[in-house]
Amino acid sequence: MKNIVNLLNKTEEVIASSLLILTSVLVFVQVVLRYQFNYSLAWSEELARLMIAWFIFLGASMAVKENAHVNMDAAFILLKGKAKIAVGILIDLINIAFCALVVFAGINMVKAAMAINSTATSIDLPLWIFYASVPVGVALMLIRYLFKLKDKIILLAAGEPDAADEKGAS
């Protein structure tokens, strides 16, 4: 299981980093061409949008792993021990439900785009490739939240309230 998680981590990092670098280079080249040579690549903006969409949703999954999403933790900070773990479990369950809903809606969005066979204007790629970033990225977030939930349940069952404060249990 740990090997699968490590593979997921590495794959996300490599793909997200590559997308960010490629998008930055593409936009830089487009700016130079436009302002220095009065020439524009017709397809660059659409391709950049595609790569940014995928980068954002892969980055959101990576943020779950790092516990880097914005949250309201004022009350959570005041909690200690098992109460902190229990609230963390509740928060994870809410996040899992939300992610499941978004994955379901995203899959329907991709199916609809596939059904009408719509394509991007200048790069002639099917739009479902753009839209697929939503269910794929949020499904990865869902997997991350499930792992976090499992860890918290184990921590709560072990009855180590001090470990919750050290680990953050959030």
Distance CA 110, CA 88 (A): 32
Q: Among 34-43, 75-84, 117-126, which stretch is predicted with the lowest mean pLDDT?
A: 75-84
Q: What is the pTM of this model?
A: 0.85
Distance CA 143, CA 146 (A): 5
88 contacts: CB under 8 Å, gap ≥ 6: 76, 148, 152, 164, 169, 170
Rounded CA-CA distance 97/25 in Å is 37
* C-alpha of 58 from chain center: 4
At 75, list the tokens: 């009350």
Q: CA–CA separation, 40 vs 51, rounded Å?
A: 19
Q: Express each pLDDT in 66-102 by its tens digit.
A: 888 777 777 778 888 888 888 889 999 999 999 999 9
Across 6-30, average pLDDT: 93
- Which runs of E-coded beta strand occur in the chain? none
Q: What total number of domains does the chain contain?
A: 1
Q: Which residues contact 131 (CB under 8 A, 6 or more apart)?
A: 106, 109, 110, 113
Q: Considering only 23-27, 28-32, 159-163, which range has the smallest mean pLDDT?
A: 159-163
> Residue 23: which domain range?
2-167
Mean pLDDT over each residue of the chain, to the nearest integer: 88
Q: Report the alpha-carbon distance of residue 157 to residue 154 in Å, rounded.
A: 5
Mean pLDDT across 34-54: 90
In the predicted structure, residue 119 carries a pLDDT above the cut 50: yes
